[in-house]
Amino acid sequence: MAREKIFVTREHIIPEAIKYLAEHHDVDVWDERSMPPRDVLLKKAAECAGMLTEITDIVDKELLEQTSTLRVVANRAVGMDNIDIAEATSHGVLVANTPGVLHESCADFTFGLMLSLARNIAYGDRQIRAGAWKVFDQIPYVGTDVYDATLGIIGMGLIGTAVARRATAFNMKIIYYSRTRKPELEESLGIEWRPDMDAIFKEADYVSLHMPLTVETEYMVSSRELGLMKPTSFLINTTRGRTVDPKALYEAVANKSIAGAALDVTDPEPIGLDDPLLTLPNVLISPHIASASSATIRKMGQMAAANIMAALEGNPMPSCVNPEAVERR
């Protein structure tokens, strides 16, 4: 097999995958922790056969129209909102993601956010570090039970299902809304389907978002949806920042329309230090790390590399999202 040029947009995240690719191809790596500038990404796309991207690397019509060499883009993520898949298909460029390897880690993290938010764990830690814990007094840190509460899940894919499995151990009542109803999960986990999202927002003590970012889901959770929630309920978001309107969320929490929110993703991302959400003690924010366990990051890198190798060799890819692109070459 001839050696091809491959561009990897980060060096420090997946060194094992890069080493594997370099054994077979000529790999060029962006060696900074920040994403490659747009001009660099365009230049590399124009001269490489494969690219291994992160979710902040935009692969759009402009990029695809400037390359005649690019044959495969492997995204080290499940979400694909940074890639114009239809445009890639029309240009004969195969696109891949990394499903099936990060859902357990993301579900662990979702529950970590939920417990920390409900029981004021992160808030208590901040207060101690700020010197505010002077006497034994639990009242400023009184939280909300997760056990026996109602969990509403929007999006019952692999991650949503893994979250539901964990919720059964907390004896939670689990309700869900998804594009596709899951009778087998209803039977095995005792979960209940709701025919519309409004019911989830109205009934749940904790609403956990697990849908992809699409045109339909962008800012799907805004003032109206938040207004349906109980003043004692919490929102958990580990999807993409743009699924929730940040201004509406700030208003809902600040005005005590809901009890709080835990976000692993923000809009914009990274969140600005002057963002009003950071002024709210009952908003917990983490830096988009739900999938960031060492084992999961390694597996994601390995799958992305395997997708590139298979595409360049003309073999079936582990997780191609547009196999019909081959016909457009």
Task: Give the catalytic positions in this structure.
Answer: 240, 269, 288
Q: Biggest alpha carbon distance in the chain? A: 70
Q: Is 85 helix (H, G, I), strand (E, B) or coil?
A: helix
Residues 6+ apart with CB under 8 A from 32: 11
Give the integer Cα–Cα distance in Å for 315 and 323.
11
Token couple for 265? 């993703």
Spatial CA neighbour of 206 closest among 140, 253, 259: 259
Residues 6+ apart with CB under 8 A from 247: none
Query: In degrees, to the nearest 5, what angle opens at C-alpha 72 toward C-alphas 69 and 75?
Result: 135
Token couple for 159? 């991650």
Spatial CA neighbour of 56 closest among 79, 85, 72: 79
Residues 6+ apart with CB under 8 A from 327: 92
Distances (CA, A) of 279 to 2, 96, 276, 307: 55, 39, 5, 43
Give the integer Cα–Cα distance in Å for 280 and 265.
16
